[in-house]
Structure 1
Amino acid sequence: MKSTHARRATLLFGCVLLSGCLSDPSKLTSSAPDKPWGPGGGNGSFAVHGSINDTLATTSTGPEIQVKSGKVYTLSELIDLGQRSHPSTRVAWEQARQAAAAVGIAEGTFLPMISANVIAGYQDVVTPLPTLLGGTDYVSTKASGVTPNIALQWLLFDFGERQALLNAAQQTAVAANISFNGTHQALIHNITRAYYLYGVARQKSEIAEHSLGNSHKILAAAQGRYSSGIGTSIEVAQAKQLVAQSRFRLVQARDGLDDAYQGLTGAVGLAPNVQIKVASSTGRRLPGTRGEPTDKVVQQALSRRPDVLASYAALKASEANERAAAAAFLPKVYLGAVAAANRGRVQAGNLPGAGLQSTTSGVMLGVTVPIFDGQIRKNRQRQAASATRAAAAVHRQTKDAAVREILLASNSVRSALASYEAASELRRASVVTYNAAFEAYQNGLGTLTDVTAADSSLLDAREAQADAHAASLLAASSLAFMLGNMTSSSAPEDALR
């Protein structure tokens, strides 16, 4: 009996020791939805194997902030707030955790399965026996017992099938973690874009208010000329029409501002009824003019972009699954062990019952060789090979699309900066023209038509400059995103350095 207990204790102790060899799934991904993941950052973490540089820049997050009434939020604070509140980061984080748990499942297949079992039973057998007087007597034999046992099953060798499945799970987890980082980058880009769109909408609203002020000045000048006898009632009516048009533009600008505000709060992940104050983007400096991205810059960008890295990890996972499908055709070596104790009682008729006690232990080694399974393994192998070819095509397509996006974004930056310079020059010229036309009209040397045309041109020039400024910032942020540099709340011009 003591030897039986010793064997059981040995099995349990071995199980505990083997469990210590497993990775902690919580350490295979980020510790929180607003924290980035980095390869090699914790115990049990792993990296993408291959020729692509898998070094990932991480997202910098500041201290936790709450929406405060009266506080004016900068772009970096909006990004920090979005990383904590937007549901997309939570979804991506949970998906990465699920992939990490799959790694733990794959690792568990290398260890034995130990189970505790209890079998209890009762049996009553009635046997007819002839008597000396020629009759029949019946003897009841009753048996009962309980058999507890501990069983072990262990797959010792399978020609690399489990290792291939583990590699596939690891690469899938890497892809999920990279996608999680990519979700943060996309969130930063979306918030930055919404912030600049809101900024230009607010600037247009201010321009419309300024234009309405100019219209009132023109109306006052027309009324003054009419009172002096040098103007006409038609001029006054035209000036009033100009005021009405300016007021209509202001209403439209404010509607656009409200829409842009909802777009910004939605990008941050705030509820539609939340009210926050946002810092102006009018004074943000623009990036310098950049030339065509060199091959080195493009290759560095490909080594940072989450979509390229994730597609590469997916390709490696497919290749590992293909190796596992091939290993399924080979033999497997198993080890089995059992330690059991039997306690029972047997009673026949009216005779005294007898108690039974016994122990059983054994170790078995077996080999299984698959012969025929209706081509299940063969079709799985074909399926895995097809998945690998598809993953390779997706990876190549992702890289080509990334290069194209980088080149287009670079062209957009150059074009937007050139447009801003032209719009700035147009605004300066329009200011001079308007001032001259208004002064001439006040002095009786010009017409209301000239002033109205100059005012309309000045409004268009100011809006064009505001649009060009925002377009330059948007193009810079898009280029930083395409280069894989948008990993923090810094300005786009800083991310391009």
Structure 2
Amino acid sequence: MRRLLLIGALLGLAACAPNAAHMASRSADTPWAPNGKEDGVWSAQGEPATPPPATATGAPDFRVPANPALAVLPSAPELDAKRTYRLPELIDIAQRNNPSTRSAWERAREAALAVGMVEATYLPLITASVIGGRQSVEQPLPIPVGTQRYFETTAEGVSSAVALQWLVFDFGQRAAVADAAKQGAVAANVLFNGEHQKLIFDVTRSYYSYGAAVTNTRIARDTLRNSLAIRSAAEDRLGHGLATMVEVAQARQQVAQSELRRVQAEGKERDAYQALIAAMGVNATLRIHVGDDGKRRLPDAGNVPLDQMIKLALSQRPDVVASYSAMQASRAGIKAAEAEYLPKVFISGAVATGQGNFNANGLPTIGQQATGSGVLIGATVPLYDAGLRAAQLKQAQSRAAAAESTFQRTQTLTVTEIVAANNALRTALESYRAATALASAAAITYDAALEAYRNGVGTVTAATAADSGLLDARQAQADAHAAALIGAANLAFVVGAMTTRDTVP
């Protein structure tokens, strides 16, 4: 019977590996379908998911069975539907609800716990164990003694022990590991702050882009009204016999063109709104009344102290600080690997008690109790490990060299980003000044062209061209205004100075 049970167990174990293959599709062109063994996905609904039916053409259908339990979105933040939210308030909402900041916070907590785990190795390890058992043996007697045909013995006992293990001295290995863990915790906390800085910048950039889209939509609607004014003037002149159908057709074409650009502008506004909501990390279906900062005063480029900004960034940017901590952690790893060549001194001790009983064929029970304790001091010295420690040391040295290169590359990229951001801001400010002058001139041109056409001394072609030129100039001005604000925010971000919602330019 025991042999049969053993054979059955072995066959059951052998069947586990082939069964795993049945969970995959039969071939590369065959849709996969659940078989009811996907714990926690479809089987949690009580019934296994059925494969999708074949299509009318017989083509394979690769859809995934729906699981309604997954279609539950996180709760949306409580917002006032009648309130108009501006940039600082949107940043505050994002910081309280964006999943990326919570993930970074959990990673920082995990790194902090790792430090505590390493520091715990400085203290002794105390364990308690209890072992108990009972054994009965029955053997037939060669010659029966009365009615007794078997000789029965029973042994039972309980043993308990408390043991202590303590690594007293390891030539600084634990100290090096603890230092590496602390540097990792520093990096994780710095990157947590950096995640908030990035979130502030992302929301700021999306907010200004959305503001430009709103302004462009308003400009497109104004342009449509201008086009309607040109069409009205052309139709009025046609009614008085002063214009031709060609002029009216051109005016109507301009209205259609303006209508198209209005529709496109409204579409870009909706896209910009969704980009803002995505940057905040809230539900995309959430509707928020966003304030318009289209008239926000632009920063003055002036003579930016570039060298001072670079030094400031190299000392406070989260990625630079985290990269430096990673380099320090890798250097501590070298010390830990070098300590593997040195002996370790330990102390161990134990206190144990035991109690046992022995009984044979109903004879008086024989009992025994014992206690014991002991303390040992020892040292271990590694002699030969087939090159394992040497490989670990070289690996730690390689990681340290790579971390140092990464730190230097991060510094170089920081300088490059600051110079590029400074140039982009200067270009955006100069573009805004040029676009402002262009919009002013285009407005004068449009008013003059429309008035001249109404008085019969201008052409409809000049009026429609002025209308399109005014639209392009005003939208260019709005885009340049937003680009300047984004450029100022980007410069503050790459310097590491965009740390709160109050530091947004």
> What TM-score does the superposition give when structure 2 sets the normalisation length?
0.80
Letter in 2 for 1:76: P
Closer/same/farther in 2, CA of residues 139 and 235 from structure 1, 3 Å limit: closer
Contact kept in structure 2, 1:292 and 1:407, CA below 8 Å:
no
Residue 87 (str. 1) matches residue 137 (str. 2): no
Instruction: Write the mapping of 1:196-211 to structure 2, written as runs, cut at 5 A.
Output: 196-211=208-223
Structure 1: 5+ residue stretches without partners: 1-63, 132-136
- 2:384 is aligned, of 372, 393, 417, to 372
1:42 is matched with none
Give, in angstroms, the shift of residue 350 of structure 1.
5.6
3-state SS in 1 of match to 2:122 = coil
Structure 2 distance, partners of 1:233, 1:260, is: 40
Which aligned pairs between 1:52-201 and structure 2 lie closer than 5 A? 66-122=78-134, 142-201=154-213
Mean Cα deviation higher: 293-302 or 393-402: 293-302
Residues 290 and 410 in structure 1, CA contact (< 8 A), matched pair in contact too: no
**Conserved 8 A contact 1:325-1:384:** yes
Q: Distance in 1 between matches of 2:496 and 2:139?
A: 85
* Aligned 8 A contact 1:222 1:231 in 2: yes
Q: Which residue of 2 aligns with 1:401?
A: 413
CA deviation after TM superposition for structure 1 residue 153, in Å: 0.6
Write the deviation string for residues 288-313 of structure 1: whole angstroms up to 9, x where unpaired.
11435432321111111111001001
Corresponding position: 1:314 with 2:326: yes
Partner of 2:234: 222
Q: Does the Cα contact within 8 Å between 2:497 and 2:503 map onto a contact in 1?
A: no
Structure 2 residue matching 1:206: 3-state secondary structure: helix
1:373, 1:303 → 2: CA distance? 43
1:334 matched residue in structure 2: 346
**Structure 2 residue 297 is the aligned partner of structure 1 residue 297:** no
Specify the code of the residue in structure 2 equivalent to 1:317. A
Q: CA separation in 1, counterparts of 2:271 and 2:192?
A: 29
Amino acid paired to 1:256: K
Q: Decide which moves more: 386-395 or 428-437.
A: 428-437
Which amino acid counterpart does residue 392 of structure 1 have in structure 2?
A: E
SS of 1:318's equivalent in the other structure is helix
The answer to whether the aligner puts 1:450 opposite 2:462 as a matched pair is: yes
- Could you tell me how far 1:143 is from its partner in structure 2? 3.5
Q: Distance in 1 between matches of 2:251 and 2:441?
A: 23
Determine the C-alpha separation between the residues in 1 that align with 2:138 and 2:175. 56
What amino acid sits opposite 2:354 in the alignment?
N
Q: Tell me the alpha carbon deviations over residues 60-79 of structure 1, each in whole angstroms, 9 at most, x when there is no partner.
A: xxxx9722212211111111
CA distance, structure 2, for counterparts of residue 334 and residue 242 of structure 1: 90
Which of structure 1's runs of 4+ aligned residues deviate more than 3 A? 121-131, 137-143, 346-351
Matches within 5 A, 1:345-494: 345-347=357-359, 351-490=363-502, 492-493=504-505
Change (3 A) 1:361 1:257: same
The answer for the alignment partner of 2:253 in structure 1 is: 241
Residue in 2 aligned with 1:50?
none
2:383 is aligned with what amino acid?
A: I
Root mean square deviation of aligned Cα? 2.2
SS at match of 2:78: coil
AA aligned to 2:262 is L
Kept in 2: contact 1:96–1:177 (CA 8 A): yes
**Counterpart for residue 44 of structure 1:** none
- How does 1:6-85 map onto structure 2 within 5 Å? 66-85=78-97
Aligned-residue offset at 1:124 = 6.0
SS at match of 2:429: helix
Q: 1:129 to 1:234 in 2, by over 3 A?
A: closer
Code of the aligned partner of 1:396: Q
Structure 2 portions without partners, runs of 5+: 1-75, 144-148
How far is the alpha carbon of 1:139 from its aligned partner? 7.3
Give the structure 2 partner of residue 13 of structure 1. none
TM normalised by structure 1 equals 0.81
Q: Deviations over 1:34-90 (max 9, x none)?
A: xxxxxxxxxxxxxxxxxxxxxxxxxxxxxx972221221111111111112211112
Q: CA shift at 1:128, angstroms?
A: 12
* Gap change, CA 1:199 and 1:349, over 3 Å in 2: same
State how far apart, in whole Å, the 1-side matches of 2:244 and 2:471 are. 26
Output the amino acid matched with 1:239.
A
- Asked whether the 8 Å contact 2:173–2:336 carries over to 1, the reply is yes
Q: Please tell me whether the aligned partners of residues 72 and 279 of structure 1 are also in contact (alpha carbons under 8 angstroms).
A: yes
Conserved in 2, the CA contact under 8 Å of 1:293 and 1:407? no
Per the TM alignment, residue 127 of structure 1 is displaced from its structure 2 partner at its CA by 10
Given the alignment of the two structures, is residue 282 of structure 1 paired with residue 282 of structure 2, yes or no?
A: no
Confirm or deny: 8 A CA contact 1:182 1:306 kept in the other structure. yes
Q: Distance in 1 between matches of 2:202 and 2:308?
A: 27
| Equivalent position amino acid for 1:432 in 2 | I
- The alpha-carbon distance between structure 1 residues 243 and 356, as it changes in their structure 2 partners (threshold 3 A), is same
Partner Cα separation in structure 1 for residue 243 and residue 312 of structure 2: 68
In 2, distance between residues paired with 1:484 and 1:317?
23
CA distance in structure 2 between the partners assigned to 1:156 and 1:266 by the alignment: 54
Partner SS state of residue 303, structure 1:
helix
CA offsets, 1:99-137, max 9 Å, x none?
A: 112111111111111111112234568999999xxxxx9
Number of the residue aligned with 1:11 = none
Amino acid at match of 2:256: A
Is the deviation greater in 289-298 or in 463-472? 289-298
Partners of 1:351 and 1:447 lie apart in 2 by 130
Question: How many angstroms apart in 2 are the aligned matches of 1:139 and 1:229?
Answer: 134
In structure 2, what is the Cα distance between the partners aligned to 1:130 and 1:434? 127
